[in-house]
Amino acid sequence: MTELLKQFILESRDFLQNISANLISLEKEPDNSMLITELFRSVHTLKGNSGLFDFPDMTKVLHEGEDLMVLVRDGEIPYSVKIADHLFSVMDFVSILMDEIEENENPLDHTDEANQLIQNLRDMKGGINSNPVNADLPDSDKPYEGKTPLSTENTIPEAVLMDAFKRIVSGETVFLINFKPEEECFYKGEDPFYQIRNTPGELWGAVNQMDSWPPIDDFDCYRCIISFVALSSAPKDELLEYFKYIPDQV
């Protein structure tokens, strides 16, 4: 078992405990916005961490739980005992998968159970933003297979510029995206490279070159000190939705 997987298991256990504690606290204070926000962040981070591995049942269920908590956090649906019960079921499911991962490094196939949990969570949303239960993971949770590697040159290639120009002339909008991740992003289970590579409508992307690197003795491989730039032809609303959890970094 790799050190990264060991760390994932250890941190996930902590997140599961925190989520359970928040759910119990919310039974007494269902309108406590701070508890709701903390619960959302824990589910969001746990989902992000699981996305670093090939655990699709876990990631899909957590993604649906995260979407539900977004609606609760934003006041679109009220927090309720039923929502809490379903979230407890999700955490029990994730805990079972964690036991299997710890024992075999991979969980068993729980597709049917995962789909039922997803349907239960979607029922709580009252039809808001629902998709078929057996749908694939959203694009933001899929590997970036077949994509052109990020450039290390900040100059946009002429072919890309011509493509963007033709799109603009034809009435499309092309956005230049500057993405500066937080230095602590890795500790939050975020993957900035993964994020930028799955930008909707990506036409081109690059890693911004640094003027200078820190001395080797001061270098911390667990801090993100790079930034990214990309061109996208996706609609503005779609890009805002994609980067909605990190608006201050874009």
Condensed to tens digits (0 to 9), the pLDDT of residues 96-110 reads 999 999 998 888 889
Q: Residue 131: its pLDDT value, please?
A: 47
Q: How confident is the model at residue 133 (pLDDT cuts 50, 70, 90)?
A: very low
Mean pLDDT estimate for the chain: 83
Residue 146 confidence (pLDDT) above 50: no
Cα–Cα distance between 149 and 147 in angstroms, integer? Answer: 6
**175-179 and 228-232 strand pairing:** antiparallel
Q: What is the mean pLDDT of residues 67-92?
A: 91
Q: Residue 142: its pLDDT value, please?
A: 46
- CB within 8 A of 229, min separation 6: which ones? 154, 176, 177, 178, 179, 205, 206, 208
Least confident piece of the model among 7-11, 81-85, 136-140, 231-235: 136-140
At residue 175, the 3 state secondary structure works out as: strand
Q: What is the mean pLDDT of residues 35-39?
A: 90
The percentage of residues in the chain with a pLDDT greater than 70, rounded to a whole number, is 86
Q: Residue 5: its pLDDT value, please?
A: 83
Q: Residue 84: its pLDDT value, please?
A: 92
> What structural domains and CATH numbers belong to the chain?
3-124 (1.20.120.160), 143-249 (no CATH)
Q: Which two tokens stand for residue 88?
A: 């407890």
Residue 155 confidence (pLDDT) above 90: no
Least confident piece of the model among 42-51, 90-99, 107-116, 208-217: 208-217
Q: Residue 150: its pLDDT value, please?
A: 67
CB crowding 181-219: b at 16 or more within 10 Å, else e: beeebeeebbbbebbbbbbebbbbbbbeeeeeeeeeeee
DSSP of 154-169? -SPPHHHHHHHHHHHH
Q: Residue 20: its pLDDT value, please?
A: 93
pLDDT in tens, 162-198: 999 999 999 999 999 999 998 887 766 677 887 888 8
Residue 226 confidence (pLDDT) above 70: yes
Q: What is the mean pLDDT of residues 212-237?
A: 83
Looking at residue 239, its amino acid is L
Q: Residue 138: its pLDDT value, please?
A: 47
